[in-house]
Structure 1
Amino acid sequence: MIEMGRQRWWFTVVVVVAWWWEGVIGAGQAPAIWVMGDSLVDSGNNNFMRSIARADYFPYGCDYYRGASGRFCNARTFSDILGDWLGIPAPPPFSDPGTAGNRLLGGVNYASASGGILDESGQHYGDRYTLNQQVVNFETTLGQLRTMLSPEDLTQLLSNSIVVMVFGSNDYLNNYLMPTVYTSSRTYTPEAFATLLLNHYARQIHALYSLGLRKFFLPGLGPLGCIPNQLATGQAAPGRCVDSVNQLIGPFNEGLKNLVDQFNGGSHPGAMFVYGNTYGVFGDILNNPARYGFTVRDRACCGIGRNQGQITCLPMTTPCFNRDQYVFWDAFHPTQAANAVLAQRAYSGSTNDCSPINVQQLAQIKF
């Protein structure tokens, strides 16, 4: 009981400090953070798009000092909190017209809800930034930075920044696992689909390396078969996750880890790539919820239907009151409390959480 109390106290401190001031936990360990990915780390890009994948309404952001900012969470996302540990304020969304000038120097968030590694993933939600488009958007930012910084200063900024890339969930949830909308599950075996994704991913990671970025944090997929959306399908046995979905994503995670090893093996000199074991860390949360202060792991805090996951969080819905005890905020996304665990383990976790090093060690490398 003493140990659990200490952990709950620690997470409360993280949340309270982050509420008052973004970026105080760390001490500027990197000059900037560039965030790419999907709704797990979207900070409001889809607010400015013709998309139904939006989170710019209450109760999203109900515990965030900026309110419903477009984050798919009750407050802060994984990348927000990881930035706190690094001492870097949450970067502004690329699609915000105000993201220009000096606001670019600490990094930019390009992540977009429903965006995937493949261009077609999530297209039924409307406009979004896919992986390919996010790389193009980064090149746009780079063009602006070239007018502001000397070549030497720009090289230093890029080479010592941290790049966080969170991709793959939509390629499964909003592509492969939707056979009535997409043909991928009829075209590819799970292994072939993972290879397709990783080949696309590798090309764009290499493109970012070619543009001057050198420090990459690449989290794998969490146990998608355990999210309320999948539990709501009724395919899981009582008290269990949908094992077939968790097995489906295994080849992607294993392949991404191998890709990181390959990139670190000499094909990309002067760079470091880190694999984040999201599956293992999230699995630890679900298997040992009390260790982290959680009491509810199988349903969403905000949602409708079985496991509160059949219909995700609707406008003006009343969410659960004990949000820090829930692992999941809505049908697809973790609560801020769960994001805090994921971010801390990414920042300072063991080699079981990150390999070959953690994000804190990544930040200490100077190129």
Structure 2
Amino acid sequence: MATASPAWIVPVLLALAALCAAAEAEASPAKVPAMYVFGDSTADVGSNNYLPGSAVPRANFPHNGVDFPTSRPTGRFSNGYNGIDFLALNMGFKRSPPPFLSVANRTNRQITRGLLGANFASAGSGVLDTTGDSIVSMSKQVEQFATLRCNISARIGEEAADTVLSRSLFVISTGGNDIFAFFSANSTPTAAQKQMFTSNLVSQYKNHVKALFGLGARKLAVIDVPPIGCCPYPRSLHPLGACIDVLNELTRGLNKGVKDAMHGLSASLGGFKYSIGSSHAVVQSIMKHPQRLGFKEVTTACCGSGKFNGKSGCTPNATLCDNRHEYLFWDLLHPTHATSKLAAAAIYNGSLHFAAPINFRQLAEDQC
């Protein structure tokens, strides 16, 4: 883990959370025409509910969703909302865009609800096509968006579609599953192996962004990977219950590589604008100053079983905590509703410590 956060970080995080809560209550008009979301379980709002097969990662059962409106599981790996939901609210939308797969097999008129956005994220997926099984890879997610784009163009015309998409926000949250897959195959990689893996991962990430740009995306909102070596699951594997350093090292390498790649793309692609929101910085701040930020438990999951509740996922038979708002982690790998709310506030309206080179609000409001 990195060194202590600056002293001003905690009060700023608290102020941002209060500010964004007030903004949600006011229900201001949406700042962008639409949000299009790509990634893994950190962004999935129910895509995997529509996939066949027993190997598909799912969260459409209790205790997931216990704090969601009507207390129902939706496919989100959370007790309530996830970070995408809060970003959508902060942007002025009444709710997150729906899973693309929930409308993909319906009429063209219903598909073009995508004019308000769609969510393509699939739990278990990664940057690489080889990551995950029986899920929607990033490559396939981009293909799905291409299909949606064709339907939008057919409905409102190519020029109008270009205008809508150029002003819309494209959110990407992925990479952690690729790191876990690499670590599962080689838990003690050499420096050369780590470098080769990270370089390939960043290269593929860059290709996905360029493909989206080619389909009309101009505003890219990237969410980096948190210190996944400190999640309950990796901790449960460590003899002393500590964070697994190699996972965190790989995460830092990926985050830096993506940061450099996005900077390079902004210099070479006309009209390309971006922001990188740092869930990594938010989680580090919570782990360093939990009580000051309203948290009491930052190592054990609220829902799960075994050591740190990190040996298995949140199932109907899992142990469930009562004070969910005081937990950093909901299950073995995912944040709670409370954590996601704080992270979204920091990424949306925060300083360069949490989002750079501009924050998500500034990216959304950019009219140039």
TM-score greater than 0.5 by the shorter chain: yes
Distance 1:168 1:5, change over 3 A: closer
2:86 corresponds to which letter in structure 1? I
1:87 aligns with 2:92: yes
Q: Could you say what secondary structure the match of 2:156 adopts?
A: coil
Q: Comparing both chains, which one has the higher relative contact order based on Cα–Cα distances under 8 Å and sequence gaps of 6 or more?
A: 2
1:143-169 CA-partner distances (Å, limit 9, x unpaired): 111121122321121001011101101
Distance 1:119 1:158, change over 3 A: same
Please report how far the alpha carbon of residue 9 of structure 1 lies from its aligned counterpart in structure 2 after TM superposition.
10
2:321 corresponds to which letter in structure 1? C
Q: Which residue is 2:194 aligned to?
A: 190
Q: Which residue is 2:68 aligned to?
A: 64
Q: Which residue is 2:209 aligned to?
A: 205
Distance 1:6 1:245, change over 3 A: closer
**Contact 1:38/1:112 (8 A) holds in 2:** yes
Instruction: Specify which of 64, 76, 95 is matched with residue 81 of structure 2.
Output: 76
Q: Which residue is 2:162 aligned to?
A: 155
Q: Which residue is 2:5 aligned to?
A: none
Q: Which residue is 2:47 aligned to?
A: 45
1:215 aligns with 2:219: yes
Give the Cα separation in 2 of the matches to 1:311 and 1:211.
Answer: 39
Q: Flag structure 1 segments of 5+ consecutive residues without an equivalent.
A: none
1:176 aligns with 2:182: yes
What is the CA RMSD across the aligned residues, in angstroms?
2.7
Q: Flag structure 2 segments of 5+ consecutive residues without an equivalent.
A: 1-9
Give the Cα separation in 2 of the matches to 1:16 and 1:48.
Answer: 34
Bigger shift: residues 7-16 or 75-84: 7-16
**Contact 1:7/1:291 (8 A) holds in 2:** no
Q: Which residue is 2:7 aligned to?
A: none
Instruction: Specify which of 107, 119, 130 is matched with residue 129 of structure 2.
Output: 119
Give the Cα separation in 2 of the matches to 1:93 and 1:38.
Answer: 12
Q: Which residue is 1:255 aligned to?
A: 257
Please report how far the alpha carbon of residue 52 of structure 1 lies from its aligned counterpart in structure 2 after TM superposition.
3.3
Q: Could you say what secondary structure the match of 1:163 adopts?
A: strand
Q: Could you say what secondary structure the match of 2:318 adopts?
A: coil
Q: Which residue is 2:141 aligned to?
A: 134
Bigger shift: residues 350-359 or 96-105: 96-105
Q: Which residue is 2:3 aligned to?
A: none
1:276 corresponds to which letter in structure 2? G
2:182 corresponds to which letter in structure 1? Y
2:85 corresponds to which letter in structure 1? D
**Contact 2:304/2:319 (8 A) holds in 1:** no
Q: Which residue is 1:334 aligned to?
A: 335
Please report how far the alpha carbon of residue 8 of structure 1 lies from its aligned counterpart in structure 2 after TM superposition.
7.4
Identity of aligned residues (%): 30
Instruction: Specify which of 131, 145, 148 is matched with residue 152 of structure 2.
Output: 145
Please report how far the alpha carbon of residue 14 of structure 1 lies from its aligned counterpart in structure 2 after TM superposition.
6.5
Distance 1:322 1:233, change over 3 A: same
Give the Cα separation in 1 of the matches to 2:199 and 2:13.
Answer: 39
1:282-332 CA-partner distances (Å, limit 9, x unpaired): 101111111220000001000000000011111253521111000000001
Aligned residues: 352
Please report how far the alpha carbon of residue 271 of structure 1 lies from its aligned counterpart in structure 2 after TM superposition.
1.5
**Contact 1:280/1:353 (8 A) holds in 2:** yes
